[in-house]
Chains A and B, each alone.
Chain A
Amino acid sequence: MADPMKIRANVVGDSTEVKVLMNHEMETGQRKDAQGKIIPGWFIQNVKVTHNDKVVLDAQWGPAVAKNPFLSFKFKGGAKGEKVRITWTDNRNDTRTDEATIA
Chain B
Amino acid sequence: MDKKRREVLKAGGGMTLLMLLAAAGWLRPGDVRAADWNKAAFDTKTMDETMKALGGGTPVPSNDIAFFSTPDIAENGAVVPIGITSKVPKTESIAILVEKNPNMLAATFDIPAGTEPSLSTRIKMGQTSNVYALVKADGKYYVASKEIKVTLGGCGG
B-chain residues with CB within 8 Å of residue A31 when the two chains form the complex: 155-157
A-chain residues with CB within 8 Å of residue B155 when the two chains form the complex: 28, 30-31
In the assembled complex, the CB of A40 is this many whole angstroms from the nearest CB of chain B, namely 14
Contact B121 A64 (CB under 8 A): no
Number of B residues, CB within 8 Å of A: 43
Question: Nearest CB to that of B28 among chain A residues?
Answer: A93
In the assembled complex, the CB of A38 is this many whole angstroms from the nearest CB of chain B, namely 11
Query: Is there a chain B Cβ closer than 8 Å to A2's Cβ?
Result: no
Query: Is there a chain A Cβ closer than 8 Å to B116's Cβ?
Result: yes
Contact A89 B109 (CB under 8 A): no
A74 to B119, CA, bound (A): 8
Contact B109 A58 (CB under 8 A): yes
B contact patch SS: mixed
Contact size range, A: 35 or more
Contact A72 B16 (CB under 8 A): no
Contact B119 A73 (CB under 8 A): yes
Q: Which of A19-47 contact B (CB under 8 A)?
A: 26, 28, 30-31, 45-46
Contact B123 A66 (CB under 8 A): yes
In the assembled complex, the CB of B119 is this many whole angstroms from the nearest CB of chain A, namely 4
Contact B120 A71 (CB under 8 A): yes
A70 to B79, CA, bound (A): 10
A-chain residues with CB within 8 Å of residue B18 when the two chains form the complex: 95
B-chain residues with CB within 8 Å of residue A65 when the two chains form the complex: 106-107, 121-124
A78 to B4, CA, bound (A): 35
A69 to B124, CA, bound (A): 10
CB contact between A73 and one of B106, B118, B156 (< 8 Å): that residue: B118
CB contact between B101 and one of A58, A64, A67, A74 (< 8 Å): that residue: A64
B-chain residues with CB within 8 Å of residue A69 when the two chains form the complex: 121-122
Contact A60 B114 (CB under 8 A): no
Decide: A46 near B122, CB < 8 A? Known: A15-B116, A60-B38, A62-B103. Answer: no
Query: Is there a chain B Cβ closer than 8 Å to A101's Cβ?
Result: no
Chain A residues in the interface with B (C-beta under 8 A)? 15, 26, 28, 30-31, 45-46, 54-67, 69-77, 87, 89, 91, 93, 95, 97
26 contacts between A and B (CB under 8 A): A30-B102, A45-B37, A54-B114, A56-B115, A59-B107, A60-B36, A61-B107, A62-B42, A62-B105, A64-B123, A64-B124, A65-B107, A66-B122, A66-B154, A67-B78, A72-B119, A73-B116, A73-B118, A73-B120, A74-B115, A75-B116, A76-B116, A87-B16, A91-B33, A93-B33, A95-B16
